Structure 1
Amino acid sequence: MTTLPGPRRLLITWASLMALTLISMASARLDPAARAQALPLWSAGLVLLAGGFKAHRVLMVYLNLRAAGSAWRGAFVGLLALTLTLIAGGYLAARWLG
């Protein structure tokens, strides 16, 4: 029995990654008045959410962590959550201080 992802799973994951990239790009351009300013809070949240989902898909499908033990999955997903938390915290701190 093989634990490698099949072509269909890889294609669906690739398509969802591309769609989420387009959503992230579009959300940054929805407010033309704020081009020289930081992203609105909702837009930054959408970008982080899409980026987090994309990173999770890359971990689970392309790095095949879905076939790894729960300790490996938990460690990588925990590191991903920590990274997203740090990015969100940096964004909020810059918004609050600036």
Structure 2
Amino acid sequence: MTTLPGARRLLIAWATLMVLTLVSMLSARLEEAAQWQALPLWSAGLVLLATAFKAHRLLMVYLNLRAAGSAWRGAFVGLLALTLALIAGGYLAARWGISPG
């Protein structure tokens, strides 16, 4: 019995990743009038949400973590959550004008 993802699963994952990339790009472009300024909170949230889902699909489908043990899945999903939390924290700190030190 093989645990490798089939062609159908890979194509669906690829299509989902492409659609979410377009969502991220379009949400960033909606604020074109405010060039070189921070994205609005809703737009940054949408980009992070799409990024989280895309990264989760990459982990589960392309790295095939769905077939791995729960410890491996938990570790990678935890690292993903930590990375996204750091990005969100950096965005919020920059938006509120908080500087390190």
TM-score (norm 1): 0.97
**Residues 1:55 and 2:55 aligned together:** yes
- Displacement of 1:28 in angstroms is 0.3
Residues 1-98 of structure 1 correspond to what in structure 2 (within 5 A)?
1-97=1-97
State how far apart, in whole Å, the 1-side matches of 2:37 and 2:52 are: 23
Which has a greater percent of helix? Answer: 1
In structure 1, stretches of 5+ residues that fail to align are none
TM-score (norm 2): 0.94
State how far apart, in whole Å, the 2-side matches of 1:34 and 1:44 are: 14
Q: Residue type of the partner of 1:65?
A: L
Give aligned-pair identity as a percent: 84
In structure 2, stretches of 5+ residues that fail to align are none
Moved over 2 A (4+): none
Matched residue pairs, number?
Answer: 98
State how far apart, in whole Å, the 1-side matches of 2:25 and 2:65 are: 28
